[in-house]
Structure 1
């Protein structure tokens, strides 16, 4: 199935942490912390700038991994974790890409379940990793059979 894709990654895509996008994102998640939106607070912070909320990377473009064709229906969102080396600063460019890290199966009560781990990376212009976002996507046996993966 997807085992042959382990290690494949997309091309890097430049994304910008735009002030208005950060503001709208913070509002949409209901987090009014001024570190995200108040420029004075940002300048006075230890970062010298406003930062983006921790889940902000969900809005970035990570490109496409050639050959990774997931079904449009029936996927289960298994897990999602973020690891940061530092916050995302408003105004900076982030170079993002996705990589297939793992694929495995387990037997469940309704048949086999397939687990696909995809990691999103965000780097600065010097290729230092700023964050990693690991997602686990679950495909059931029924979805696999319908898709004929």
Structure 2
């Protein structure tokens, strides 16, 4: 079982610059065709400050919590089980989003191959004025290390 003392561990703030090319590549990789993600004129005509980032774009943002290191995972596997976002305004090209992540929960559950740890990480993204842009929450499953043959 992972140490419950990890709960509450916060990252240092990390600023993520939202770039046009990154928005275009991300939207393309998802098969999105709406021009607000590719054409600046279309985005501005729709009322946005620049190219509009797709709703799941914050998955690309970095925080300073390195989960493998923070959780001392070693050879244990990490599975991304769930993710959700709450938005307070759209994210657009040119934004600088400061992200702080916190380990919100650590628990143990029974799995098909034995006990597994479940880690919940919450993050907040704020703009340059300190306004909340989004909150994210992801659930990670930490699987046992493979057994030696």
- The aligned residue for residue 79 of structure 1 is 82
- What are the superposed Cα offsets for residues 47-100 of structure 1, whole Å, 9 maximum, x if unpaired? 343210111112222112573333455222221112111110111111012210
> Structure 1 residue 42 and structure 2 residue 67: aligned?
no
The change in CA–CA distance for 1:55 and 1:71 in structure 2 (over 3 A counts) is: farther
Report the Cα distance in structure 1 between the residues aligned to 2:72 and 2:47, rounded to whole angstroms. 42
Report the Cα distance in structure 2 between the residues aligned to 1:69 and 1:29, rounded to whole angstroms. 32
- The aligned residue for residue 100 of structure 1 is 103
> Structure 1 residue 130 and structure 2 residue 133: aligned?
yes
TM-score, length basis structure 1: 0.84
Instruction: Flag structure 2 segments of 5+ consecutive residues without an equivalent.
Output: none
Count, aligned residues: 144
User: Over the residues paired in the alignment, what is the CA RMSD in angstroms?
Assistant: 2.1
TM-score, length basis structure 2: 0.84
Counterpart contact for 2:40–2:50, Cα < 8 Å: yes
Instruction: Flag structure 1 segments of 5+ consecutive residues without an equivalent.
Output: none
Report the Cα distance in structure 2 between the residues aligned to 1:47 and 1:138, rounded to whole angstroms. 37
Report the Cα distance in structure 1 between the residues aligned to 2:121 and 2:18, rounded to whole angstroms. 22
Report the Cα distance in structure 2 between the residues aligned to 1:31 and 1:51, rounded to whole angstroms. 12
> What's the secondary structure of 2:70's corresponding residue?
coil
